[in-house]
Chain A
Amino acid sequence: AQRVTQPEKLLSVFKGAPVELKCNYSYSGSPELFWYVQYSRQRLQLLLRHISRESIKGFTADLNKGETSFHLKKPFAQEEDSAMYYCALSGPYGGSQGNLIFGKGTKLSVKP
């Protein structure tokens, strides 16, 4: 069955330190993976998706099919990065990505 695992519930780093939020998935087929973020008192929103291969707010994520991972990285954390981060996998219904399978999230806390 498709599943997304985020092993860390909470990750605390100091400002300027590198950040890596881990995400592992299980999926039979070619997965589509995403990172969503929820800042305090804001809505859940898309941060980035692996097919775009883009860097958003300094964050990047590389899909590693061999390790079935999609870790989110940023070389220098900022206080405004403090938020809840969710890794998500497109569901089993081909051609439709309105159904995402979410991990349980990692709360990132960046200390000054």
Chain B
Amino acid sequence: KAGVTQTPRYLIKTRGQQVTLSCSPISGHRSVSWYQQTPGQGLQFLFEYFSETQRNKGNFPGRFSGRQFSNSRSEMNVSTLELGDSALYLCASSLTGTTGELFFGEGSRLTVL
């Protein structure tokens, strides 16, 4: 089985722009979670989707949003980018999201200038 695939792997944006990141989960997995990883804060939960519905949301501002499609692929969007949004964004999938066994992608590294 192919692993979790995230695109793009690297991107550079400037303040005020917006960005969309994509995640293709492992085939058959219906839960997709997003995490932000920074040196200072570590891994922080952004949101989780299951069957096209946002099931949980972390403590991030409304500039961070996401969605999930019927094929379980997910996208997350960050609008009005700030310097502090520079981070590695990790996507993780699981069958149902109820066991804690998450399969992570390699991440999308966002740099905001």
Contacts and interface: CB of A to CB of B under 8 A. Distances in A.
Interface of A: 32, 34, 43-46, 49, 86, 88, 90-91, 93, 95-105
B76 to A, nearest CB: 14
B39 to A, nearest CB: 9
Interface SS of chain B: strand
B56 A98 contact: yes
B95 to A, nearest CB: 10
A88 B94 CA distance: 16
Contacts of B100: 32, 34, 46, 49, 88, 90, 97, 100
A16 B94 CA distance: 35
Interface of B: 3-4, 31-33, 35, 42-45, 48, 50, 55-56, 58, 90, 92, 94, 97-106
B98 A97 contact: yes
Contacts of B103: 43, 45
Listed from nearest, the 8 A-B pairs whose CB atoms lie closest are A98-B97, A98-B48, A102-B43, A97-B100, A104-B42, A98-B33, A44-B104, A99-B56
Contact of B105 (A32, A43, A104): A43
6 contacts: A46-B102, A96-B56, A96-B98, A98-B50, A100-B102, A102-B35
Contact of A99 (B48, B99, B105): B48
A98 B94 contact: yes
B58 A99 contact: yes
Given A32-B100, A43-B105, A98 B42 contact: no
A98 B3 contact: no
Contact of B45 (A34, A49, A86, A91): A91
